[in-house]
Amino acid sequence: MATSRTNSEAVVQVDLEATVRRSSRSVLTPTRFQYSAEIATDIKKKRTTTTTRPTTHNDKKHQNSRKDIKEEDVKNSAVECTSGGHAGLSSYELERLENIKQNQAFLSSINLFQATEELKQVTRPKLSKRRLMRLQAAVEKGVPVRKSLRLQSLTLPPKPRETQICGLVSTEDIKMELSLKEYRSALKNMKTTEDREAIVVNKLLVCAAFHPCTSSLLMATGNTFGTVGLWQLGSDWGNDSVLRFEPHTRVVACIAFSRAHPTHLLSLSHDGTVRCMDVEKAVFDDVYDSEEPLKTFDFMSHDCTSLVVGYFNGKVAIVDRRTPGNSHESIHSLKFKRSLLCVSVHPLQKQYFAVAENGIVNIYDSRYLKEKKSKTVSQLHGHSLSIHGAYFSPRTGNRVLTSCMDGYIRIYDTSAMTKKAPLLTSIRHKLQTASYRTRVSAVWDPKQEDCFVVGSTSKRHIVLVFHESGKLLHSFVDRDNVTSVLSVTAFHPTRNALLGGNASGQLHVFSD
C-alpha cells in the first residue's frame, strides 16, 4: 500500500541512523535504508550529471526494471560510502558516519543478546539420559560444573509461564509475591536522584516501558513526533546515555519489549504502522501496515508472535508475525463503531482480551470474533466518560483495572467471566491534566497481583501506589527532582524500580 511504503522511506535520522526494512514475514526481499537523505540526494545528482545516454527500445520495454536498478545503485553506492569509501563526502557527512559507528558500538555494549540467548534455553530440547548421568556423576564427585562467564554475570527475568486453565497460578508465582508489609517496605526504599533522570525524547512523552533484564535498567519511550528513545541508567556513553530514532511519522502511541525475544522492541504509531526494532542492530522491521490510524496493541501469545492491534475507529486486527507479509490474519468490527483507546490480553487465557470502547469495557474471545459486531463475553459497566485504560491483572487476570475521564479508577472482578463483571472498588482520582493530549492512567505492578501505580495531577507532583481495595500504600515524593506531573508510569517486571515520564519527554527512575 502506497501510504505505508511512503512512511517507511521517509525515515528521519536523529542521533542514530534508523534503519527500516521490510518485515522478515514479507514475501518480498527486505529493503534496508542505511543512508541519509542528504547522501542519497548527492549520489542521485552525480549520477544524473555524469551518466547520460539516449533512450533505447530496450529502455522503453523495461522502464520499470530500470527504475528499480537505479534505486539499487543508489543504495549500493551509499553502502560503499559507509563501509570505508568516503571520497566526495563533506566533513559533516564524515563526522556523522563516525557518530553512527560509535552509537552502534554502544548498542553492542548493552549485551542484550545475552538475555535472548538465555531465554532460548527455556525452549531448548531436554538433555539426553547419558548427558544427565554424566552431570549427576560430576556433582556426586564434587567436580564443579562449568558455567560461562556470560551466564554468571547476567540475572535474567523468570521463565515465562505456560498457558494454564481456569486462572490457576503456579506455586512458584505465589512465592514471588511479597506480603503487603514487605511490599510497602520495598517501596519506601525506592528513591530518585539527579542522576536518575534524563530527557529521553523531545516534546510530549506518550508511552514508556522497561526492558525485562535485571542486570541493568534499560527503558524505551515514544513521543508525539514519531520518536523512539532508549535510555540506559548509569551508562557512561555519550552526554546523556540516550539514543533516539524516528521510525514513525506520527505519534508513537504504544511501545513494549518482547518477553520471549528481549532484543525486540515493538512500537505502534498513529501513522498506521507497527514496527519491531532489533535493539542490537538498530534495524526496524515492518510488522504491520494499515492505511488507517492505529491506537494500541498487546501480545496474544506467550512467545509474543501474535498481536491484537486496535484501530481508532473501533476495529481490531489479529496479526501473526510468523506468516508472510505485513498484513493481518483477520480484522473485526467490534460492538461499537467508535474510538478504541486500549486493549489488554488475559495473562493466562490468551484468547480473552479487554477493549475500552465508548464508555464501556468489553471482553471478547478471539476464537469467536466475527467480521462485524462481534459478541462480548463480559462487560464492565459504570463509566460515564471516555476510558483510556483497561488492563487485566498481571498474574491471574482475575481483575481489570480501568481509568476513566469521569475521575474514577475502578477495579472489576473478572475471575468468573460473567456477562456483567462485578465492580469491586471505585477510587476518586483526578486523571485530567491541563493538556488534552496528556492523560494519567493507572497500571498494575507486574510483580504484585493486587497493586497498581498512578500519577497525580496535584501541585505536589507525586506518584501513588494503591492496593486493589483502595488503600493507599505509598506516595513517591521528591520536590527537589520531580517538578512536573508524571503522567506515564510503569513498574519494572522483576526489579524494585519505577519510571515516571512527563510532558517534556523527561524520565525519572525510582529504585532501591
Does 202 reside within a domain? yes
E strand or H helix that includes residue 445: none
pLDDT(336) > 50: yes
Q: How far apart are CA 221 and CA 104, in angstroms?
A: 19
Q: Per DSSP, which regions of 121-246 are E strands?
A: 197-199, 205-210, 218-223, 228-232, 242-245
pLDDT(106) > 60: yes
What pLDDT, on a 0 to 100 scale, did the predictor assign at position 156? 37
What pLDDT, on a 0 to 100 scale, did the predictor assign at position 280? 86
Mean pLDDT, range 473-500, rounded to an integer: 93
What pLDDT, on a 0 to 100 scale, did the predictor assign at position 359? 83
Mean pLDDT, range 345-362, rounded to an integer: 93
Mean pLDDT, range 214-218, rounded to an integer: 89
What pLDDT, on a 0 to 100 scale, did the predictor assign at position 18? 59
Higher pLDDT residue, 81 or 376? 376
In this structure, how many other beta carbons lie within 10 angstroms of the beta carbon of residue 258? 19
Q: Is the dihedral of CA 315, 320, 321, 327 positive or negative?
A: negative
Could you tell me if residue 226 is left (phi over 0), alpha (psi between -120 and 50 degrees) or otherwise beta?
left
pLDDT(250) > 90: yes
Mean pLDDT, range 380-407, rounded to an integer: 94
- At 220, list the grid cell: 524505551
Q: Per DSSP, which regions of 18-117 are E strands?
A: 19-21
Mean pLDDT, range 147-171, rounded to an integer: 35
Mean pLDDT, range 448-463, rounded to an integer: 89
Does 373 reside within a domain? no
Q: How far apart are CA 71 and CA 44, in angstroms?
A: 9
Q: Which residue range forms the structural domain that includes residue 494?
A: 174-224+437-512
Mean pLDDT, range 422-444, rounded to an integer: 85
Does 316 reside within a domain? no
What pLDDT, on a 0 to 100 scale, did the predictor assign at position 100? 74
pLDDT(304) > 50: yes
pLDDT(439) > 60: yes
Binned at pLDDT 50, 70 and 90, residue 138 comes out as low
Binned at pLDDT 50, 70 and 90, residue 111 comes out as low
What DSSP state is assigned to residue 176? H
Does 481 reside within a domain? yes
Does 495 reside within a domain? yes
Does 297 reside within a domain? no
What pLDDT, on a 0 to 100 scale, did the predictor assign at position 77? 42
What pLDDT, on a 0 to 100 scale, did the predictor assign at position 57? 47
Top-confidence range, 47-51, 269-273, 313-317, 476-480: 269-273
pLDDT(104) > 50: yes
What pLDDT, on a 0 to 100 scale, did the predictor assign at position 97? 80
CA within 13 Å, CB half, 60:
4
- At 501, list the grid cell: 515520564
Mean pLDDT, range 75-104, rounded to an integer: 62
- With CA atoms as reference, report the closest residue to 284 among 225, 205, 226, 239: 226
Say whether pTM exceeds 0.75. no
In this predicted model, what pLDDT tens digit does every residue of 23-53 receive, in sequence order?
A: 545 433 333 333 333 433 443 444 444 444 4
Binned at pLDDT 50, 70 and 90, residue 203 comes out as confident
Alpha-carbon dihedral 205, 206, 212, 214, rounded to 10 degrees: 30
- With CA atoms as reference, report the closest residue to 270 among 313, 221, 208, 209: 313
What pLDDT, on a 0 to 100 scale, did the predictor assign at position 107? 65
Cα radius of gyration (the chain): 25
Mean pLDDT, range 62-69, rounded to an integer: 46
Does 269 reside within a domain? no
Q: How far apart are CA 246 and CA 143, in angstroms?
A: 52
Q: How many independent structural domains does the chain possess?
A: 1
pLDDT(340) > 70: yes
Does 506 reside within a domain? yes
Q: What is the mean pLDDT of the chain?
A: 77
Mean pLDDT, range 354-373, rounded to an integer: 90
Top-confidence range, 27-31, 146-150, 298-302: 298-302
